[in-house]
Amino acid sequence: MRRETLERHQVWLYLGAVSMGLALGSLTPGLGSTADALLWPVLALLLYATFTQVPMAALPTAFTEGRFMAAALLGNFVLLPAAVWALMQFIPENQALQLGLLLVLLVPCTDWFITFSQLGRGDATRATALTPVLLVLQLLLLPLYLWLMSDADLRVVFAPADIWPAFVVVLLPLALAVLTEVWAGRSRTGAAVVLRLGWWPVPLLAAVVLLVAVAHVGSVLADAQLLPIVLGVVALFLAISLLLSRAVASAARLNLAQGRTLAFSMGTRNSFVVLPLALALPAGWETVAVVVVMQSLLELFGMIFCLWFIPRVLFPDPRASTGEKPSRAR
């Protein structure tokens, strides 16, 4: 199997993992504590494998593409946060639901958006260069966004005694991934390891989703009535992000491949990074993690649609209608 095939069909793997996890958790409740214990190391491994695919060495290179970078930063860190704030005004007064949506919708994706950009005839090179910038800025800006938009008492919800494991699970794999990248830059063996790690995120995310379902089956079933609300918000967010990406790309005079990449960047969110924070919250806030998982699965269905919509409708190649061979991203 090719890696591209695995990534193209990943949504079905995750749905199977959720179904299996809910069945196991319901039929064997005693597995919940074991799944909860396994969840953190598997999540840390997932983040490590994911972060190794984020080229931190490309950080300076990213700023050489001034118009594309400005468009991506404006869209992801100014326009979309404003749109998220507007969407929150119509959400029921459920603080856990609101916090879950804020956590996941405010952070742009740094992993599978590269794959979707490539599959959707975007510019994978610029997508790759953009990812470390997105990762660094979201880690810095997320606390500010939450302080401005959340009605929850963040000092209680994010008490240091509860969430310090989440920071370890995020920051330790990030540090190890940077060291691995340095090793890969100096050694063929290291480069081969990074290449192999590129296969890991999809099966590891499936394992994480399965473990979350087993460990939190009660919360998942109890919060099932929230699915239509989350679905509506995710669909509206995706529609808004696509419209904004078209407007920003036109204003910045981006070419077709850059515009498509911008659309995939603005339409995808970074559930991997915020999931540890959601899982570390104190008792009573389990809904936050459920919402994050719901969003990530719904987003994948949205990306299946976007693989058709973005290159054919939102950023169509005019030569395709004249019978010429469509342009491909570099």
Provide the token pair at 223. Answer: 């919060």
DSSP annotation string for 73-129: HHIIIIIHHHHHHHHHTTS-S-HHHHHHHHHHHSSB-SSHHHHHHHHTT--HHHHHH
Quick one: which H or E segment has residue 54?
Answer: none
Residues 73, 77, 79, 84, CA torsion sign: positive
Kindly state the helix (H) or strand (E) to which residue 222 belongs, with its residue range: helix 217-222
* 79, 244 Cβ separation under 8 angstroms: yes
What are the extents of the domains in the chain? 3-315
Q: Which of 275, 268, 237, 223 is nearest to 43 (CA)?
A: 275
User: What does pLDDT average to in each consecutive run of 10 residues of the chain (330 residues)?
Assistant: 77 90 91 91 92 75 78 97 96 93 94 86 86 90 93 80 82 92 91 91 91 90 92 97 98 95 95 89 89 92 93 88 51
Instruction: Output the CA angle 110-274-108, nearest 5 degrees.
Output: 35
Q: Note the pTM of the prediction, 2 decimals.
A: 0.87
Neighbours of 74 (CB within 10 A): 17
Task: Supply the Cα-derived Rg of the chain in whole angstroms.
Answer: 19
Contact 181, 56 (CB under 8 A): yes
DSSP character string of 279-321: HTSPTT-HHHHHHHHHHHHHHHHHHHHHHHHIIIIIS--GGGG
Instruction: Give the class (CATH, top level) of 3-315.
Output: mainly alpha
Of 231, 230, 242, the residue nearest 116 (C-alpha): 242
Gap between the Cα atoms of 113 and 270, Å rounded: 9
Q: Give the integer Cα–Cα distance in Å for 255 and 253.
A: 7
The three state secondary structure string of 125-157 is HHHHHHHHHHHHHHHHHHHHHHHHHCCCCHHHH
Contact 91, 97 (CB under 8 A): yes
Long-range contacts, 84-92 (Cβ 8 Å, 24+): 84/149, 84/237, 85/148, 85/149, 87/233, 87/236, 87/237, 87/240, 88/149, 91/229, 91/233, 92/229
| pLDDT number for residue 288 | 93
Q: Can you tell me whether residue 269 is helix, strand or coil?
A: strand
State residue 216's pLDDT score: 87
Q: What phi, psi does 109 have (nearest 5°)?
A: -70, 145
pLDDT at 57: 67
